[in-house]
Chain A
Amino acid sequence: DTGVSQNPRHKITKRGQNVTFRCDPISEHNRLYWYRQTLGQGPEFLTYFQNEAQLEKSRLLSDRFSAERPKGSFSTLEIQRTEQGDSAMYLCASSFVPREPQETQYFGPGTRLLVL
C-alpha cells in the first residue's frame, strides 16, 4: 500500500490522559498536514509541515497539542490532558510541492479519537 497511513485507526481514552497518533505520508511527499474533523463538518486545518519544518499552526491547536516530523518523513500528533471536546477524527494528508503547479492532498484513513 503506497498511500497515506495512520495509526491507530481508533483510540478510546479517558479524560486527562495523553494520546499520540502517527501518520506515514506517501514516500516522496514533502508536505504533511493534520486536520481535525467533527461530525457533520469539513476537515479543519490544524498544522502543516514542509519537510521537517512546522510552518504553521492553527489557532485551533491549543498548547495541549503538539506535532512533530523529526526526519521529514512520518509525523506524530500528541494531545496532552485530553478533554471530551477533543473527540473527533484526526486526518493526515500529504502532498508533493512543487511537482504539480497546484497542490493535491491525499488523505490517510484517519484516527478516530473518543475521549470518555
Chain B
Amino acid sequence: ETGVTQTPRHLVMGMTNKKSLKCEQHLGHNAMYWYKQSAKKPLELMFVYSLEERVENNSVPSRFSPECPNSSHLFLHLHTLQPEDSALYLCASSQAADSGTEAFFGQGTRLTVV
C-alpha cells in the first residue's frame, strides 16, 4: 500500500459509544494531522503531531483524544460524541510540520453520530 490510508471509511455510532479512527501513512513523513470537514465549511485543523509529539491542539473538545504511537500511525479516539460531531474526518501527513511542505490526505472517515 502507498499513501495515507484511513479506517473505517464509514462509521455510525451512538452518543454513548467509544470508537477509534485509524490512520496509517507509508510515505516516511514526520508529521501527521487530523482535520474535520463539515458541509460547506473549511477544513478545521484538530491536531498536529511532529515526530510523534503533539505540537498543535486547536481547542478541540476532550471527547476527541488523539494518539500517535509512532511516526506512521495516528489514531483519533472518540467517546460521548454529539450529533454535531458528524462530519468527514481526514488524516494527512507531510514531510515536516513547520515548513511549507505538501500534505497528503487519506480518503477520510465519514462519521455519523446518532
A complexed with B:
no
- Residues of A participating in the B interface, judged by any CB pair closer than 8 Å: none
- Residues of B participating in the A interface, judged by any CB pair closer than 8 Å: none
